[in-house]
Structure 1
């Protein structure tokens, strides 16, 4: 008998915040929870959880309807529409920022909200991690996921776990040209890294097991400024990961955040480099220079299509208590390093490497400045440098 495949979807959006880009109002979160509770009663959803990182509302949803399903995406759309109404009534900052269209067309792709979804056959034990980032871009996950899936000095399972040793297929998206390529590790590891090194263009979308386990992780790669044609906010990606038994362990997923300060582009006006600050959702409000970029990691077990956290068995209506992996003192040193590195980058002021290169900045006044100065630029009359050839001296 073939088991029915479950789909895990995370759809997120920034639709308004209290005091700049800090956090959504609790009533917005409650409105989303109310809508999804009704959808669960109607049988649209198997289970759900509403959370946030910084000013982004994140909706975790499980179901058996497959990816890009109209009912699932429609449920998320309804949540964001209702939250936007509340934000506008309160005159909150950037109300409805990530809603780029007036009507729902069956899928949130291209409409503003970001999404990550994976469909798989549930294993006997299915530990899952949900990473949520704020004030950054989709490619921010690429260096970290490269460490996790390509580096045995991070993931010992690549050496000692027979199934993990078979490697992974890495789907990489060209976010500028809207193309994708699938490459395999370990055979193409160096070429994968060569491509991903250009974080302005290439980003990991999906990683799949080559041992028949199915998808290992999926990332939202939606680029808001490309969809809207102008700067409307950061992309703030989410990443869903399955772990253990042929896949990286929970500890192998979290170790990179403790060992390294990861520099990511996108905080403060979407125009600066900062360092990932691993924290709890409750500590994800940007407090320094609209940042630094926050990242949270919440864990759930999947139990017959339902989310199981630290709450009693068979809890309904999204009242879950996830395991908060970054919200503990273990990551105090990582947080301190993130602030230290971010402060150093800020000492460079409005110069690279504090700010992003011009072609990567979400918005900049430089084109207007150049246009204004066009008539004042003059040709530089440089005299050619004469080459001087010295005769070789007679050494006799």
Structure 2
């Protein structure tokens, strides 16, 4: 059986209103364009959003880093950008760092998570989409899913998971990859995962080399050399039958951990799990949000989605996130709510520092 490629490509090409959401007309443009231009290329697709980001969820048989698929996504975002500019939406086209496509969408602004695998008799997949944060936001959840038996009991009682997993970690500053085997190298792994502003999990594999998870690790500020918004990462996680159960993959988000981003990409705040309906961050442009869409794959067809975080089982997580948000907001412009100065290098703060340089700061 030929392999299926699962691609999720996202971009912020204009917020409605401010940074809170995507105008419904842009989603319609994306659906129409993908439906017409991708009919001979894609097996199936879904268009979704979280906050002000458009997310293209696509299946095909062209493999990862396929130029045709990446160009299709790029052209879709360009088509949406035209309408965003007509509507004068905020930050229209901000994630598109070039005027022309150069063969691969990576490094051009949009975030990309992809994996290629043979579809199992039952293939549950979860697409996680976040807004107002950066790729390191997935570090703690992925560690808990694939390395923490207190979260994932399958690591102990499922013989298909008992050998553990391989974590591929990206140094987003030096653009280097490292691999760690769990459980053998957990302590070494945690040295890097804890520094989530620089290191991000790019992929997770089982010990046979089969892909289990993939995430976007592109950092907009490093690509643009200036502040152009946070990266708003996406992630794909395969579930069941040798991988974490659906409930094990969702469980890390029951405790809203602190991530960087939020207002002007310059603050720490809780990552709040929400339904699609509530994926519209407005309070101080936040708090940061995460949505989880579940699909069953059937010969590459996307059966779904199921909006997992609409479950009332996450109500207490949302309440806790709001309490954390109150506490962090009470610090105003003081750390630890505001990011440390070395993390503010690609915000608008350097312009202020330059202006004040005459005061011998």
TM-score, structure 1 length as denominator? 0.88
1:237 is aligned to 233
Pairing partner for 2:216 from 211, 216, 220:
220
2:18 is aligned to 20
1:146 is aligned to 143
Residues 368/247 of structure 1: CA separation in 2 closer, same or farther (3 Å cut): same
1:391 is aligned to none
Q: Structure 2: give runs of 5+ residues left out of the alignment.
A: none
1:290 is aligned to 285
Shift of residue 354, structure 1, vs aligned partner: 0.4
Q: Structure 1: give runs of 5+ residues left out of the alignment.
A: 310-321, 378-396
Deviations 1:318-340 (A, max 9, x none): xxxx1111012221111111111
> Does 2:285 correspond to 1:301?
no
> Does 2:325 correspond to 1:342?
yes
Structure 1 CA distance for aligned equivalents of residues 60 and 246 of structure 2: 24
2:119 is aligned to 122
Pairing partner for 1:355 from 338, 342, 356:
338
Shift of residue 303, structure 1, vs aligned partner: 0.5
2:27 is aligned to 29
> Does 2:332 correspond to 1:332?
no
2:188 is aligned to 191
Structure with larger Rg:
1
Structure 2 CA distance for aligned equivalents of residues 369 and 115 of structure 1: 34
1:314 is aligned to none
Shift of residue 40, structure 1, vs aligned partner: 4.0
Equivalent residue of 2:315, what SS?
helix
> Does 2:97 correspond to 1:100?
yes
2:353 is aligned to 369
Deviations 1:139-161 (A, max 9, x none): 01101111111110100000001
Shift of residue 23, structure 1, vs aligned partner: 1.2
Deviations 1:42-73 (A, max 9, x none): x2000000000000000000000001111111
> Does 2:202 correspond to 1:205?
yes
Residues 40/268 of structure 1: CA separation in 2 closer, same or farther (3 Å cut): same
Shift of residue 39, structure 1, vs aligned partner: 3.2
2:175 is aligned to 178
1:69 is aligned to 66
Of the structure 1 ranges 360-369 and 58-67, higher mean CA displacement relative to structure 2 is found in 360-369
Deviations 1:362-391 (A, max 9, x none): 3143564377356646xxxxxxxxxxxxxx
Equivalent residue of 1:216, what SS?
strand
Deviations 1:281-307 (A, max 9, x none): 221111211000000000000111111
TM-score, structure 2 length as denominator? 0.97
1:136–1:234 CA contact under 8 A, matched in 2:
yes
Residues 96/159 of structure 1: CA separation in 2 closer, same or farther (3 Å cut): same
1:315 is aligned to none
